[in-house]
Amino acid sequence: MSVEAYINPDFGWTEKLFFLIAAVLGISVCVFIVLLVAKLSRDGDSYYDRSRNRVQRFYELIISGTSVMSFACSYVILNHIYSILQGQDVPFTSIWENWKDFILLLLICLSCVLNTLLDRLIIPLRLIDKGEKASIRMLSMFYAIFILVFLNLIGDESEYSPVMMYYLGLMVGRFVYFDASFTDFIEAVKNLFRNLPLLLLGLGLTGILTFLGFDWGYLLERNYYIVGIFYTQLFMLVSVFILHHSHILDLLIRKPAEDTGDPSSDEYAYDDGYDDLYEDEDDEDYRYDDEDDYDADDYYE
């Protein structure tokens, strides 16, 4: 298989536009589901804060998933190049044979740098803290492993075992590290299950868009399926960029009105004191019963 097999000449700008529209619609539907679930849930925060936080966690999952899949796709392409050049006297084959593990480690580091650039500069997500970002990035490892396991099940030609072993090692390191306590482990598991619905939502959207891409002829079946999935991830990433910077979410979620010091509000309502003066007018100390003997002359003496 040549390098040209990774490029589809029939996937022109018009087809790219249609696929981007499909990705934007898919991300929009997922955001609507996230908002609906946030509306129905009650976890102490206001709906405005709760919904925006969950949407940005979903955006972080798409960003992290794209970064992680970039590492997997790079490995597949480099391994494919090595299989083509194997047996030839070229520097790349010897470098790949002797330094493959270090190259894979470098690719992982580059994917982490890419993730940081995306969610801090290009698509800044400021409503989720570092702990939430770390949990979502760990969840993206599961995201990639599920995809790679599925590709192995359908009989893709490429070998994904080394990549999955790296992902598993990273996840184990996230759960159990040298100074981790049992409380830290339980907290990591809780955060994992807390964001599990977002993982299922992201996997479902990726599967649907990838299926449509292959069915419409936009993605090629003659190259490795992971390349088509990575293309889909790129379109999903562009869709997140469009939705995030268009501020459409601000139209769907109104920020609660803050107190502006309006004199007509309850806090600034005028209190003339008459209510307090007469609030006890019906108290027994100030009432005279008809049966009591009341003498006005005794009162003025």
| Whole-number Å distance between alpha carbons of 248 and 252 | 7
* Residue 300 falls inside a structural domain: no
Stretch 271-297: mean pLDDT, rounded? 46
| Whole-number Å distance between alpha carbons of 14 and 20 | 10
Q: What is the mean pLDDT of the chain?
A: 79
Contacts of 51 (CB under 8 A, 6+ apart): 34, 35, 38, 39, 253
For residue 61, give the nearest of 231, 194, 161, 208 by alpha carbon: 194
173 pLDDT above the threshold of 90: no
Instruction: Give per-residue pLDDT as tens, 221-251.
Output: 766 788 889 999 999 999 999 999 998 888 8
- Look at residue 87 in the predicted model and tell me its pLDDT: 78
Domain that holds residue 25: 3-252
Place of tokens 């003339």: 272
For residue 198, give the nearest of 43, 38, 88 by alpha carbon: 38
* Residue 279 falls inside a structural domain: no
Instruction: Give per-residue pLDDT as tens, 251-276.
Output: 877 777 664 444 444 434 444 444 44
Cα 192 to its chain centre, rounded Å, is 13
Q: What is the pTM of this model?
A: 0.79
Tally of domains within the chain: 1
* Residue 262 falls inside a structural domain: no
* Residue 242 falls inside a structural domain: yes
| Whole-number Å distance between alpha carbons of 67 and 34 | 22
- Look at residue 219 in the predicted model and tell me its pLDDT: 87
* Residue 214 falls inside a structural domain: yes
* Residue 44 falls inside a structural domain: yes
* Residue 257 falls inside a structural domain: no
Place of tokens 């107190």: 259
Tokens of 55: 């949407």
Where do runs of H (alpha helix) occur along the chain? 13-40, 47-85, 91-117, 130-153, 161-175, 182-194, 196-215, 225-246, 248-252, 274-278, 296-300
Supply the angle between the helices 161-175 and 130-153 in degrees, to the nearest 10. 150
* Residue 289 falls inside a structural domain: no
Of 85-94, 175-184, 270-279, the range with the lowest mean pLDDT is 270-279
pLDDT tier for residue 294 given thresholds of 50, 70 and 90:
very low
Longest dimension (CA), the chain: 129
185 pLDDT above the threshold of 80: no
Distances (CA, A) of 103 to 6, 99, 163, 209: 22, 6, 12, 31
- Look at residue 76 in the predicted model and tell me its pLDDT: 83
